[in-house]
Structure 1
Amino acid sequence: MEHTLSTGHPATPDLARMRREYDAAEPHRPAVREEPLVEEYLAGDWPTQFGRWFAEAVAAGLPEPNAMIVSTAAPDGRPSSRTVLLKGYDERGFVFFTNYGSRKGREALANPYASLLFPWFPMGRQVVVCGRIAPVDRHVSEEYFHQRPRGAQLGAWASEQSAVLPGRQALDEAYARAEQSFPADTEVPLPDHWGGLRVEPETVEFWQGRRSRLHDRLRFRRTGEPGADRWIVERLAP
């Protein structure tokens, strides 16, 4: 039997007909320097190209331009995704911080591969990163942890991230206990279960929307071992 696409509810918009044309002149699109995503305009390395696009996303006023979707997988291959904030990047990769006991932390340590997605939809751009994931050195986590607001530091002690809670009260009580353990005149130490993870890219894809779904996709791909810094650029079909 042939089935048609259904929204599941009569009041829901027709999803099959929802689409936008990616055009530099479309209304409400942030005003940025719009160069074609072609090989001759691409930076010579992915960190420079990412920095260029990230700076333009910030200048365009995108909300939380450092927000990225992090996807990991359990040892049996079951994937999971969530949004976190990028807190640093360089030629070694992209760094974010989390509770190592969270689902993403456990999966990253057990199955050390991850994917990142920067969804800069208002600009018609995406960046997709795939590679290995590993904890950063503890001194890096220490430095960042002590830059966080005190409330966020206490929250790292209070929240057993991804654990099932009986209710909101349990979390509030755990936070109150953290406040008692670390009075206002004392430093909040870095928990052993909390720190940074770095995604070391094997591929970094830059995606820019184009009319008729003929999008531009240029991908930097590592061809040697990690640390060899041998990269090629490939154009992918949209």
Structure 2
Amino acid sequence: MKINLAGIRQEYTKGGLRESELPDNPLLLFDRWLQEAIDAKVNEPTAVIVSTVSADGKPSTRTVLLKGLSDGKFIFYTNYDSRKGKQLAHNPFISLSFVWHELERQVHIEGKATKVSPKESDEYFRQRPYKSRIGARISPQSQPIANRMQLMRRFVQEAARWVGREAERPENWGGYAVTPTRIEFWQGRPNRLHDRFLYTLEPKGNWEISRLAP
């Protein structure tokens, strides 16, 4: 490799995170950080890296979009027959990572995923753009396909079926709600002396806060 990867460095100077400023509930801090990411117009502020584990203990990651934060749970939507859906059916424990490079911030979340109710999935599905609904109906997510033309042909055929009608949510598509048990906030600082604060959910429901070494 001709690129000198070892020489690529960036100094983090955008800000800090003080323990005195931390709320008792990490969801309050996450909500503030997410709003600041949106206000700063960072690229894809709701993009979240989702990690699951297969039946044989092998991890896999992919990026989805956060679509809700309700009752302390992080919500995203996907095909239940996808790779992540099958892995979550076997092992519901999951991790989520938000990376906002423009703000030199990261949030890492661990918890347990459960399916949202069909009613909630229906409500969100109806809000999606029409073409996104058609795409969800015809895509065998994570499965091999012969070529892009095959996918486009299925899209056109399915769109024709629903002309003048509201495309219904397929049963194998819906939401997951992730209940967090561990949330880490990372703020870049100069000299790699980053601020890292970990919230850990205790049995009584309160959150313990600790500072981690960078």
TM-score range, shorter chain: over 0.9
Where does residue 229 of structure 1 map in the other structure? 205
Where does residue 144 of structure 1 map in the other structure? 124
Structure 2: where are the runs of 5+ without partners? none
Task: State yes or no: 1:81 paired with 2:57.
Answer: no
| Distance in 1 between residues matched to 2:11 and 2:161, nearest whole Å | 55
Task: State yes or no: 1:119 paired with 2:99.
Answer: yes
Where does residue 171 of structure 1 map in the other structure? 151
Matches within 5 A, 1:1-238: 9-10=1-2, 12=3, 14-24=4-14, 34=15, 36-183=16-163, 185-224=164-203, 228-238=204-214
- In structure 2, the residue corresponding to 1:19 is in which secondary structure? coil
> Between the two proteins, what is the percent identity of the paired residues?
42
User: CA offset at residue 43 of structure 1?
Assistant: 1.8
Aligned pairs, how many? 214
Q: Which amino acid aligns with 1:129?
A: I
- In structure 2, the residue corresponding to 1:49 is in which secondary structure? helix
| Distance in 2 between residues matched to 1:188 and 1:127, nearest whole Å | 35
User: CA offset at residue 180 of structure 1?
Assistant: 2.5
Which structure exhibits the higher relative contact order, with contacts defined as CA atoms closer than 8 Å and separated by 6 or more residues?
2
User: CA offset at residue 166 of structure 1?
Assistant: 0.6
Q: Which amino acid aligns with 2:166?
A: E
Moved over 4 A (4+): none
| Distance in 1 between residues matched to 2:87 and 2:6, nearest whole Å | 35
| Distance in 1 between residues matched to 2:121 and 2:71, nearest whole Å | 18
User: CA offset at residue 230 of structure 1?
Assistant: 1.9
The CA deviation string for residues 82-107 of structure 1, in whole angstroms up to 9 with x for no partner, is: 11100001343100000001111111
The CA deviation string for residues 56-84 of structure 1, in whole angstroms up to 9 with x for no partner, is: 11111102100111111111111111111
* TM value normalised by structure 2: 0.96
For the pair shown, the structure with the greater C-alpha radius of gyration is 1
* TM value normalised by structure 1: 0.87
